[in-house]
Chains A and B, each alone.
Chain A
Amino acid sequence: MQTQQERKLIVTENLTKSVKTADGFLQILSNINLQVEYGETIAVTGESGSGKSTLISLLAGLDTPTAGTITVDGFTLTRMDEDGRATLRNRLIGFVFQSFQLLQGLTALENVMLPLELRGDKHAKDTAVAFLDRVGLSGRLKHTPRQLSGGEQQRVALARAFATKPALLFADEPTGNLDSNTGAKVIDLLFELNKENNTTLILVTHDQALAHRCGRTIKLTAGRMS
């Protein structure tokens, strides 16, 4: 039996994604072979349309590839059905998005509690309160997303992402909707939390400075790794 050190967190083989368009098939990703170690921090860079978002949506099991295989923590995503992938996401994966993706109808506290409640955590509220306190929002528990600034919303998203203590965190341009000052603070917080929780981080960004804070950078050009 392999130990965690011997196993890779993510392994992809010939990962390919194409979509049908009016002009025929469009190749978005071609033969991506990627290995990610536990605890690694990786930046995915590339121009718009290079396939960055498609890559993380495949790695997170949000979408299915046209060809190739993906293994996450020993589970072959490409052999799992939709509900199997959902369970895996809930157990292993956290997300931070450019557009925050908080549920508008819920308060900050309820948003953080959500993934915990989905996995049936009985201490969801206590954990959520602790994480919101950690990101400096203990005074904003009952505020809805509309009542929070962009930076505060992203901090709620960070609390939600780390509250489940995921092995793997995907961050899709987490500062894209924030001004540079607020963005820098959010990124500092993201790396702090990442370190505290020993989470593997895959971060999509255009920002070279940000990419340099990661241990490794993968550059995508027209759907291929370079």
Chain B
Amino acid sequence: MKHLGLALRFLWRDSRAGELTILFLALLIAVTCSTAITVFSDRLERTMTGQAAEFLAADMVITTHAGLPELWLQKAAGLSLKQARTAEFSSVLMEHDELLLAGVKAVSANYPLRGFLKTTASDYAAEAVEHNGPAPGFAWVEKRVLSALKLKLGDTVTVGEKQLVINKIVTYEPDKQGDFYSFSPRLMMNQQDLKATGVIQPGSHVHYFYQFSGEQASLSAFKQWVKPQLNLAQRIMDIHEDRPEVGSALNRAERYLGLSTIVVVIMAGVAIAMATRRYTERHLDATAILRCLGSKQTGVLWLFVSQFIILGLITGILGCLLGWFVQEQLFTLLRNLLPQTISEPGFLATMLGLITGMTVLAGFALPPLLQLKKVSPARVLRRDLAPLPANGWLVYGIAISLVVALIWRYTEDIKLTLIVFTTGFLLLVALGIPVYCVIAIARRFLHRFELTWRFGLQGLVRNSHVTLSQLLAFTITLSAMALSITVRNELIVNWQEQLPEYAPNYFALNIFPAQLPELQSDLKTQGINGSRFYPIVRGRLTEINRMPVQKIVTKDSQGEGATHRELSLTWTENLPADNKMVAGAWWVSNQKGLVSVEQKLADSLQIKLGDRLDFIVGGQPLTATVGSIRSLKWETMRPNFYMIFSPGTLDAFPGTYLTSFYLPENHKTYLNQLVKKYPAMTVLDVDAILKQFKTIVRQLTAAIDYVLYFALIAGFTVLFSAIYSTLDRRIYETALLRAFGAQRNLLSAMHVVEFCMLGLVSGILAVILTESLLYLLYIKVLVIEYRPAWHLWYEIPVSAALTVGAAGFLSVRRFVNTPPLRVLRDF
């Protein structure tokens, strides 16, 4: 601490002289970015997870066919979890001599824990948001119930033995689920009336949904506690596992935010490393003087390190405040897209920006700073004495371990961390070697170039290790920027592809074969284009290779869910458009007795090609051999199937048909005509779900774009700091050449050649690095299809040559115009 006063004085003088500007900016951007991204992601993630939880109407749900033990509910209460309960069952309603099989849902007082219900009081009234279900004695029904039973609001409806007054039409419920086929028109009632209906008897087919919400830690603790106690009929659902269409979009967005944070942090690190390098070079003389005057090696190092710590703390706090302001601004900008209440960030998220900033500073600034410790005091007499290089492994080890630790900290994903780091590192080494060789070869042929080119290239060729480090800095930066932009575009295109403008918003189920031709022609007359009509047979998977499935499935798995209920089985001649073959081959005609299984289910049940699957369909056995395994996109709002059979296999079983179609808002009245004409047909409205999903995608896109801007700002900072880090040499040489009579035009052209070449070569290296990382990211991490981005092959090198060329030229230009003596005197 002896040198603290001196350190402060040095810091003050250096900052006034502009020596620390680039370092300050790089660090400020690193801290601002990491604070803004961390706090923003933290709040957005909490908000989005909260909003996504609306799909379940809770954070976690336990489904069961009977009640849960009282002890479990007490345990949840002990963990301060809020609870609600719904019971769903089918019941035949009869009014005015009309019969209707309705899906009855009895809800408890707190339902829904997350999200809301929507109701209307008439056809024309606006929808109202409801945070509780119907009061005792009342029922809310879907409009179809009213039309089917010739009822109106205010009438009574009898459920079992209990009469309820219908006072509202329910238009939206957050947790409408189950497979679409089993959907029936909804009647919602209060749980307190359930007993009076007398419908629930021992052996009744009822689904209970015990819903829980609360702090993540309590939820995890409860989940962990309850999981081992579940029996075969009980299952835990949460948002990531049970609403894949929302979960996967959320997952990818989270991964993108993680990726962008790594990109920004690494780029800021590179900028800090380059800026510190220049700082170190400019402080070699001062260090030598201090050493000459009797300062010890550690004393000198501490003098500079303490300056960096002070700078880091000041900039860190400033960056934190700025980052906080930036994310607040973003939430203000997006207030129309985001929910009314945004979750508050955690203290750790706010501090993480500062911690990240200090860590990046230590990891990237320390290696160049360590060189100062090795400055020989004899440099006061002989200026050419360069400091001894610091121990390579120590120097790079610090930065490498920090990058890995940071990436891991942010992504909490070791796979992503290792992929990005290992590939990037190996490629950089692999690309560095040929570049080094090219520089060595170029040195031999330099004399054959004309003056401008020779002078321009000389700067790059003569100091090959400096050129190489600058090239790698540019390459990392350009690649990081390209990666951010490409992944962003790909993600958004991918989402938009899943939800095209005319994505089906209705599903029609229970279409009897006899009605099929007429319905098809009716839809065609109305200009309604739908997906194909899939034949549906309901069946249960019972055995795999003659082994009962219950013995194969693991608890809580996708397989378990699929084996506990009847599946919609279909057959088709051609592979559905969204499906992709993973193993085996699609059948050719007349191959009866084959089945194609969805990949995740196959994995969960360990089903392989050639396995024998046994089903029970309407009490009759059905046997098929696994002919292929398919992957499909659950997130598309089209009919998707776990099991598709080859034509002819299901002929012996009676079935119905299913289709989906898009109906514009102004055509919705046509639906009533359809329902009247085909009373047995069930029409399922998924418009609300679609709208909700589209809102989430819009929010995610906005967030992703915002994060991308940070990556770009950080990228440009690195470009400038890398140029500045070697500016002294260029300024000195420019002044010398000016002193010898070189014309301004020659000098300008020389700099343009030098910087453009630097940009061009790093652009080419960046494309190779980007494409390799993209391939790995798409295939291994984001799990989306890899399409080579050929346009990058010319876009990156050309734009890099132009950007670096312009930036370099502009930074040196004023020195070209300054009298050479003034420049030389400063060296």
- A interface list, Cβ under 8 A from B: 53, 56-57, 60-63, 82-83, 86-91, 93, 95, 97, 101-106, 110, 114-115, 117-120, 172
B274-289 contacts to A (CB < 8 Å): 285-286, 288-289
Pairwise interchain contact A95-B380, C-beta atoms closer than 8 A: yes
Q: Provide the residues of chain A in CB contact with B2, threshold 8 Å.
A: 120
Name the one of B5, B14, B291, B382 contacting A105, with C-beta atoms under 8 angstroms.
B14
Pairwise interchain contact A86-B381, C-beta atoms closer than 8 A: no
Pairwise interchain contact A62-B286, C-beta atoms closer than 8 A: no
Interface string of B264-303 (1 = CB under 8 A from A): 0000000000000000000001101111111111110000
> If the complex has contacts A106-B13, A110-B9, A117-B5, are A101 and B380 also in contact, measured as CB distance less than 8 A?
yes
Name the one of B289, B377, B378, B380 contacting A86, with C-beta atoms under 8 angstroms.
B377
Q: Provide the residues of chain B in CB contact with A82, threshold 8 Å.
A: 296-297
Give B483 Cβ to nearest chain A Cβ, in Å.
40
B433 at the interface (CB under 8 A from A): no
Interface string of B13-44 (1 = CB under 8 A from A): 11001010000000000000000000000000
Give B58 Cβ to nearest chain A Cβ, in Å.
63
Q: Provide the residues of chain B in CB contact with A120, threshold 8 Å.
A: 2
> If the complex has contacts A89-B292, A97-B380, A101-B292, are A83 and B297 also in contact, measured as CB distance less than 8 A?
yes
Give A51 Cβ to nearest chain B Cβ, in Å.
12
B628 at the interface (CB under 8 A from A): no
Name the one of B19, B294, B298, B376 contacting A119, with C-beta atoms under 8 angstroms.
B294
Pairwise interchain contact A53-B286, C-beta atoms closer than 8 A: no
> If the complex has contacts A62-B377, A63-B378, are A101 and B289 also in contact, measured as CB distance less than 8 A?
yes
Name the one of B10, B295, B381 contacting A53, with C-beta atoms under 8 angstroms.
B381
Pairwise interchain contact A87-B296, C-beta atoms closer than 8 A: yes
> If the complex has contacts A53-B381, A62-B292, A120-B2, are A105 and B297 also in contact, measured as CB distance less than 8 A?
no
Complex Cα spacing A153 to B123, Å: 92
Residue pairs across A and B with CB atoms within 8 Å: the count is 84
B382-438 contacts to A (CB < 8 Å): 382
Name the one of A106, A110, A118, A172 contacting B295, with C-beta atoms under 8 angstroms.
A118
Pairs across A and B, CB under 8 Å, 11 listed: A86-B291, A89-B293, A89-B377, A90-B295, A95-B293, A95-B380, A103-B290, A105-B14, A117-B3, A118-B290, A119-B294
Pairwise interchain contact A56-B296, C-beta atoms closer than 8 A: no
Complex Cα spacing A57 to B146, Å: 103
B6 at the interface (CB under 8 A from A): yes
Pairwise interchain contact A103-B289, C-beta atoms closer than 8 A: yes
> If the complex has contacts A62-B376, A105-B17, are A115 and B381 also in contact, measured as CB distance less than 8 A?
no
Sort chain B's interface into a size bin.
20 to 34
Pairwise interchain contact B294-A89, C-beta atoms closer than 8 A: yes
Complex Cα spacing A83 to B300, Å: 11
Q: Which residue of A lies closest to B373 (CB)?
A: A82
Name the one of B3, B17, B292 contacting A95, with C-beta atoms under 8 angstroms.
B292
Max chain A C-beta neighbours (<10 A), residue from B290, B292, B298? B292
Complex Cα spacing A215 to B611, Å: 106
Q: Provide the residues of chain B in CB contact with A57, threshold 8 Å.
A: 378, 381-382
Q: Provide the residues of chain B in CB contact with A102, threshold 8 Å.
A: 289
Pairwise interchain contact B294-A118, C-beta atoms closer than 8 A: yes
Complex Cα spacing A145 to B174, Å: 74
B355-380 contacts to A (CB < 8 Å): 376-378, 380
Give B339 Cβ to nearest chain A Cβ, in Å.
53
Pairwise interchain contact A115-B286, C-beta atoms closer than 8 A: no
Interface string of B286-323 (1 = CB under 8 A from A): 10111111111111000000000000000000000000
Give A10 Cβ to nearest chain B Cβ, in Å.
17
Pairwise interchain contact A172-B297, C-beta atoms closer than 8 A: no
Complex Cα spacing A95 to B6, Å: 20
Nearest 7 A-B pairs (CB), nearest first? A90-B294, A105-B13, A62-B378, A63-B378, A62-B377, A83-B296, A115-B293
Pairwise interchain contact A62-B9, C-beta atoms closer than 8 A: no
Name the one of A61, A83, A105, A110 contacting B286, with C-beta atoms under 8 angstroms.
A105
Pairwise interchain contact A62-B380, C-beta atoms closer than 8 A: yes
Further contacts, 14 of them, CB under 8 A, given A101-B380, A106-B10: A53-B381, A53-B382, A60-B292, A62-B378, A86-B295, A89-B293, A89-B377, A103-B289, A105-B19, A115-B294, A117-B6, A119-B294, A120-B2, A172-B381
Complex Cα spacing A144 to B5, Å: 18
Q: Provide the residues of chain B in CB contact with A101, threshold 8 Å.
A: 285, 288-289, 292, 380
> If the complex has contacts A63-B376, A97-B380, A103-B286, are A118 and B293 also in contact, measured as CB distance less than 8 A?
yes
Complex Cα spacing A207 to B594, Å: 105
Complex Cα spacing A53 to B385, Å: 13
Give A23 Cβ to nearest chain B Cβ, in Å.
18
Pairwise interchain contact B297-A86, C-beta atoms closer than 8 A: yes
Q: Provide the residues of chain A in CB contact with B19, threshold 8 Å.
A: 105
Q: Provide the residues of chain B in CB contact with A115, threshold 8 Å.
A: 293-294
Give B407 Cβ to nearest chain A Cβ, in Å.
37
Pairwise interchain contact B293-A114, C-beta atoms closer than 8 A: yes
Q: Which residue of B lies closest to A95 (CB)?
A: B292
Q: Provide the residues of chain B in CB contact with A95, threshold 8 Å.
A: 292-293, 380
Q: Which residue of A lies closest to B16 (CB)?
A: A105
Pairwise interchain contact B381-A90, C-beta atoms closer than 8 A: no
Q: Provide the residues of chain A in CB contact with B298, threshold 8 Å.
A: 83
Q: Provide the residues of chain B in CB contact with A114, threshold 8 Å.
A: 6, 290, 293
B521-574 contacts to A (CB < 8 Å): none
Q: Provide the residues of chain B in CB contact with A172, threshold 8 Å.
A: 381
Pairwise interchain contact B381-A62, C-beta atoms closer than 8 A: yes
Q: Provide the residues of chain B in CB contact with A62, threshold 8 Å.
A: 292, 376-378, 380-381
Name the one of B294, B299, B381 contacting A91, with C-beta atoms under 8 angstroms.
B294
Give B767 Cβ to nearest chain A Cβ, in Å.
40
Q: Provide the residues of chain B in CB contact with A104, threshold 8 Å.
A: 17, 286
Q: Which residue of A lies closest to B6 (CB)?
A: A117
